[in-house]
Every structure is written in C-alpha cells, then in structure tokens.
Amino acid sequence: MTATRFLTLTLPILYCCAPCAPFEIHPSKYRSADRSRGRGNSQVFSGVGVADKYSWNEEQFEIEVKVVAPPGTAAKDVKFKCKSDGVDLRLGDGTVLLDGERKVRGNICVDGTFWSIEGPVEEERTVTVTIEKHFLPTSSSGGTQTYDSATQFDWKGVYLNDEDEVSLREYDEPEVLDVREYASKLGVDIDNIDMSKVDKTLFSSKAAPGGEESEASKKDGFHFDIETETLDQLTRTGLAKEIVQQADGDEYEFKDGSFGEAQFGFLGRDVSVDELAASGLKGKGLQGKVPSVFSDMTVPVEEAPGFEGSMEATADGLIQNDVVEVESLKVEEDKSGEISKSTDPIDMLTVPSLKDILRKSGLKVSGRKQELRDRLRDYVHNQMSNE
C-alpha cells in the first residue's frame, strides 16, 4: 500500500516592520528595553573593538557602544538623541560623549535603540547605548524575515573613517563550509550520486531555465517551496497540518513521525460520493463513511422512503399544505380494554381519514388538522340536530 504526504494550510501570516523615523528619547523612560523582537538567537558573526573614547560589542542585529561618564553623573544629566544615521549622547554641562554629527556605518532602527547607565555614583559610570541595526528584508512571509545575500550584517565598527582612533578591532572570521567533507561525514559521496534514486518531485515547483514552468509543474498543479523552520512555526500555531493519504483514500494526520489516531477528511464531513469521485478519491475507506442519504439520487420529499403525507389542490389548482404531518395516535385503553369515555372519536382520526370522510360528505378538505376536526364535528352536530 502506498501513501502520499501533503501539507494543508489554513491561514496566511503576515509580519510588518514599521519604518523608523528620528525622534527624541527621554532618558527617564528608556533606561531598559526588551531586546526580543521575534528573531530568536540568530547571531552569525560577532566582534569587539576599542577606540579612544568608546568601545563596542557587535552582534548580527545589535551593536553596544560604551562610553565613560565622570563621577556623580545621574540619569537626569544625560541628553540623548537618535536618528537613522547617528546618535548624539552628551551631558547637561555640554560634555559630548558621542557626536551626533558623525555618521555610523549602517542604518539605525530608532524604535529599538536605547541607553542605560550603570556603576556607583561616586565613581566613573558607564553609559551603554544599544543600537539596533535596520535592515530591509526581501520577504517576511510566515513570520520569518528573509534577507538578500548582499545584506551586510557586520558593521566592523561604529563610525566611518575610524582608523585613526581605533586601537583594537577583533571579529570572528566566517567559516567556509566544505560540502564534500560534510557530505562524507554523513556517508554520502556527492561525486557518485545515483540520480534515479532522487525524488525529483521536490524540485517540480522550480521554474525551468528560460523562465517557464516545467511540464511537471503544469501537470501536477500549484507547488511552492517552504523552509523547515517556517513549517515548524505554522504547525506549532495550528495553521498547518501534515497529512498522509493512503492508496485506499484514507487520510491521517501525521504527528511526531507517526500517524494520528483520528482520521482526517480533506474535503470535510458528509461529502457525497460524486464529490469524492470528482476529487479523485474513490477508495472504499472514505465512501463507506458517507451517509446513505447522499449515496442515492435526489428525489422529491413526497417520494422519499418512509414519508407519509398527501398533497391537495384547490379549485384554482394551487397546492396548499405541501407537507401534511401524519400522526399515529395510540388509543388509551383501561384495564378492561374499553376506550375512555372522555375521548371524542373525531379526535382519534388521522388527517387522511378526516379528509376522506369530509370528501365523501361533500365538504371542503383543505386546512389544518384541527380545522378538519372542527369542520367534521360541526357537520355531525348538524346532522344529529336535523334528525
């Protein structure tokens, strides 16, 4: 028995990043901030540096710049301004700690940039400015930001043209991945791959050289590529499910490497046989669960099995009371089997019986059940009075 695995999505996700604009940050309100912005620990390279009046510690999305303030400096003495290409940090007496006129090496996200001060008041204090780098992602689909390969995450420093003032600059060098060596550790010889064993459907969504879709894409319909990290996020939030479809048409939810206990209906519940056939699912597993009412051809309600009723037309040809309810009245009998004396025999008649009697008596047969009873009761009383 063969099985096919596919992915179902219920809802798209969009992630937006607001543009940064210059504004003044008040020190008393921004002594600390939450640095978590949904990127996770995605540091690739890092580095440190020391200059004449400042030092820095750089990571992929942030760079911390530290300067020394004289003893007795309080938070109220610090004046801080930030814009997209520089930061200005100075004290109330005019002492400049970081010059706002100097251009930094990259773009700054003003919303994520803040400062803090630490150390004993009676000693020299350290003012730390945490600068969040601003990059423009090429895609934010699925909550994961994707950047162009040309994006430079490392500034390699704080300011442009800082060679004369920097005495130390140390950065991790990027490691070049040896694909052949890495594959050999996994037991794969990339120079001798049997392409007949490669599942080419994994690449069917790729466009053929020249910009046109491949024949496999046109035949099989829409395909799209999705990263494992994005798929895991969609699955954890309940927006995606991995479904295994067997050859007999049964479908199961795939969780933690195994089938779920409950079956999964790709087309929903109570789906007719015709709909299953139209979707290409003709297995007995699904068709056996379709309610019998959907298995037969649609028929008028009066011809449905088990339906009892009648349809009467008036003199002008209009049908009244399309569906007439038929009730089965059980005669209550006492221990001796006699009918209770308080029961009117007319009340025990069914609708067809009432109409049959009225029709034979030449009376009108349209109306509700109680109207038919009253009409027959009046007729009986009149006959008894005449006699």
Give the CATH number of the domain where residue 324 resides: 1.10.720
Tokens 């109570």 -> residue: 270
pLDDT of residue 108: 92
Q: 207 and 74 in one domain?
A: no
Cα gap 271→253, rounded to integer Å: 19
Q: 164 and 129 in one domain?
A: yes
pLDDT of residue 113: 94
45-65: burial string, b at 16+ Cβ within 10 Å, e else: eebebebeebbbebbbbbbeb
Residue 265 included in any domain: no
pLDDT of residue 346: 85
| Secondary structure of residue 77 in the 3-state scheme | helix
Strands 23-24 and 78-83: antiparallel
Residue type, 254: F
DSSP state of 199: -
Residue 253 included in any domain: no
Strands 62-69 and 23-24: unpaired
Q: 67 and 204 in one domain?
A: no
Name the residue among 206, 175, 241 with its Cα closest to residue 5: 241
Tell me the CB-side half-sphere exposure of residue 306, using CA atoms within 13 A.
1
pLDDT of residue 137: 79
In angstroms, the first-to-last Cα distance of the chain is: 85
Measured between alpha carbons, how far is residue 233 from residues 12, 142, 256, 366 in Å? 12, 8, 14, 65
Q: 189 and 138 in one domain?
A: no
Cα gap 57→48, rounded to integer Å: 4
Overall number of domains in the chain: 3
Residue 300 included in any domain: no
pLDDT of residue 306: 57
Q: 128 and 217 in one domain?
A: no
280: left (phi over 0), alpha (psi -120 to 50) or beta: left
Q: Which two tokens stand for residue 307?
A: 């339906």
Q: 46 and 149 in one domain?
A: yes
CATH number, domain at 108? Answer: 2.60.40.790
Residue 5 included in any domain: no
Residue 311 included in any domain: no
Residue 58 included in any domain: yes
Q: Which two tokens stand for residue 239?
A: 């927006």
pLDDT of residue 64: 95
| Secondary structure of residue 292 in the 3-state scheme | helix
Q: 134 and 84 in one domain?
A: yes
pLDDT of residue 260: 55
Predicted TM-score (pTM) of this structure: 0.39
Cα gap 37→16, rounded to integer Å: 12
Cα gap 204→221, rounded to integer Å: 10
Of 141, 171, 201, which residue constitutes the final position of a domain?
Answer: 171
Tokens 């895609």 -> residue: 139
Residue 235 included in any domain: no
Q: 115 and 27 in one domain?
A: yes
Q: Which two tokens stand for residue 241?
A: 């499910």
pLDDT of residue 297: 56
Q: 208 and 112 in one domain?
A: no
Q: 183 and 121 in one domain?
A: no
Cα gap 344→288, rounded to integer Å: 50
pLDDT of residue 77: 93
pLDDT of residue 14: 37
Other C-beta atoms closer than 10 Å to the C-beta of 97 total: 22
Task: Tell me the residue ranges of DSSP E strands in 12-143.
Answer: 23-24, 47-51, 55-58, 62-69, 78-83, 86-91, 96-98, 114-118, 125-132
Distant-in-sequence, close-in-space partners of 138: CB < 8 Å, separation ≥ 6: 146, 147, 148
Angle at 179 between CA 39 and CA 153, to 5 degrees: 30
Runs of H (alpha helix) within the chain:
179-185, 215-220, 228-236, 273-278, 284-287, 292-295, 351-360, 369-386
Residue-number span of the structural domain to which 378 is assigned: 320-386
Binned average pLDDT, 10 residues per bin, the chain of 387 residues: 52 38 34 35 68 92 94 93 93 92 92 93 94 84 71 86 92 82 86 78 55 52 68 80 66 62 57 65 51 54 58 49 44 48 77 86 84 88 82
Supply the Cα-derived Rg of the chain in whole angstroms. Answer: 41
| Secondary structure of residue 159 in the 3-state scheme | strand
Cβ–Cβ under 8 Å, residues 90 and 144: no
Residue 88 included in any domain: yes
Q: What is the DSSP string of 137-158?
A: -SB-GGG--B--TT-----SSS
Q: 141 and 58 in one domain?
A: yes
Name the residue among 270, 267, 265 with its Cα closest to residue 279: 267
Q: 219 and 326 in one domain?
A: no
Of 171, 191, 211, which residue constitutes the final position of a domain?
Answer: 171
Of 171, 205, 238, which residue constitutes the final position of a domain?
Answer: 171
